[in-house]
Structure 1
Amino acid sequence: MHLTPEHATRFATATLAHLGREYPYKMDLVLNGPEDARPPRAHHPIFHGSFDWHSCVQGWWQILRLAHRFPDLPVAADIRARAGAMLVPEKVAGELAFLSRPYSAAFERPYGWAWLLALHAEAARHDAPWGAALEPLAIAFAARFHAFLPKLTYPLRVGTHFNIAFALLLARHWAETLDPALVALIDTRARDWFAADRDCQAWEPGGDEFLSPALTEAHLMAVVLGDGFATWFDAFLPRTAAGQPVTLFTPATVSDRSDGKIAHLDGLNLSRAWSWRAIGAALGPAHPGSPVAEAAAQRHLAAALPHVTGDYMGEHWLASFALLALDGL
């Protein structure tokens, strides 16, 4: 399965419908006084839709990516018009102001930080002022990575928003062209945390996870280690060619898509597809695990793609993960 114009239209149409949908909205906010009890758009001039801040950010990444990939689709004109109205310096200044609030150091750490960097990288690809407008916000979040990573003693291996490997994948992609020092820091920390990992048991998924701790780690190491990845991977998941551990090769069952946490499991299937594809490509066609990885990716895609839209609990964010699975970063 690969990204098609039909996918692009379906995803972008759904996302445009919720990027400006202010309610329901889950705030990440420490109230410093009664004056802080204001509507979402008062705190976030751009990212006040799509249920929460990070989902709004990744929704913007998704529609800009689709407009770049399929510039002649009718929906692309709507995307460009919306971006022209929203991704402007004065609104970015409002988002920056939120970061200077007391107790905001951990705001959206690290998931939202990484998606903002991914959004800036995508915006900068367009012949438009959006990337320049978002640049101060991207620099602010990059500075937070620089400050945070050296003091994070232990890696965050969970399968939810706190997963550090996923955040570093997105942050490193941004930093490759804009912040070589951050690339070096990410690579050092990834080796510190993960280089000695062996024989992963992959006791997953958890009931509300949308990332695979095992596969996201391997995906990051594929990027960090380059030609040395296959050797590391063979020690990390030594029975991949035999389809073991079976938990990594079996799509998750989603019992209730109206439950926002259980609906995370559709995202798990999509993010696993993305990571399995990247892992297979990094291993190379001669490696016995490569065709197994691609087959696993296809199974996970087939399980999740029909459910990207349909219920708001998944619809407000799943298309961004579907885009990763179909088209990469």
Structure 2
Amino acid sequence: MKIKDITAYLEAWAPLAYQESYDNAGLIVGDPGVTVTGILVTLDITEAVVEEAVRKNCNLIVAHHPIVFRGLKKLNGRNYVERVVIKAIKNDVALYAAHTNLDNIAGGVSFKIAQKLGLENVRILAPKSEMLMKLVTFVPTEQEKPEFRGASQAVLDALYEAGVGQIGKYDRCSFRTEGTGTFRGNTDSNPTLGEAGQDEQAHENRIEVIFPAYRQNTVLAALRKAHPYEEVAYYLTTLVNENQEVGSGAVGDLPEALSETNFLAYLKNRMDLSVIRHTALRGQPVRRVAVCGGAGGFLLNDALAARADVFITADYKYHEFFDADNRIIIADIGHYESEVFTKELIQQYLLEKMITFAVILSDIDTNPVQYYL
């Protein structure tokens, strides 16, 4: 199996199209055509992690955080980013990152936190809108020719294979209505129905499906290949609907309500924390919990709208804690601490199919923040 096979598998799970504009997810260093000897999974890529990969015969490192966020103008080892890239290149170790694209999918980073906390009814906290498109196309029915029996289903099957028709927990979703289509081919046409130069009409099924916008080219290629007409009529519409499978953070409920102090103790234990920075307790039970791995302060209003009792995230600044305003408890557990279990998430996903070589969790603690206790 080659590096490009691994990256394709990862990007089917966490598409690069879902990363934020500032991000740099994907293959950062390495030749996609190289055969993989082993994969080391880490939160951050440091020189020590590259050395660990070499020792363990892993020529691909899959990380959550990209080692390169901005363009490198020089590679002379003047900082840790340049040194890591140089060391990786010298040792033929490829570097890959699944960052905000993994943050932004259902089942991603924040969902891993929710799993660690045993939350139920977990859903995306802030779904993204305008991430979906609707395709409308027209397929002849068997009323025109017996050979068109099943043509609509054949087109739909091809579209489903290309990624259309997924709505939450349901797939192969579509809508169809029957009507009459009209057309006239010019002298250069070779119409499937009727004669060139003649006004024609046909019994057709109007088929409507939705799909993630980033799959547009794949969906249209599948449509053209499966459709019986020489020229395929279709409409594409960008939808303002929220995509319940793509967005930031997660929210869910504890199986049973806990007192605030008991919940903080529970959080500390479940997330293996040394310390929790939090706002004033409100004297109310905790049942609904909102979470966001990494710096999630931008989701406070979403947590409030979801009626969460606690919002767990990281990287809160002093004055930002005042924004809780006794409406919610903000619990800052640390950036590394909120995302370190992402390693397990990535490893578990890769192990579902990667059975011909090792997928190893890094032993290196890459947390740059230390605590004096």
Which TM-score band (shorter chain)?
under 0.3
Larger Rg: 2
* TM, length-normalised to structure 2: 0.21
Q: Which has the higher strand share?
A: 2
Question: Greater RCO between the two (CA within 8 Å, min separation 6)?
Answer: 2
Q: Which has the higher helix share?
A: 1
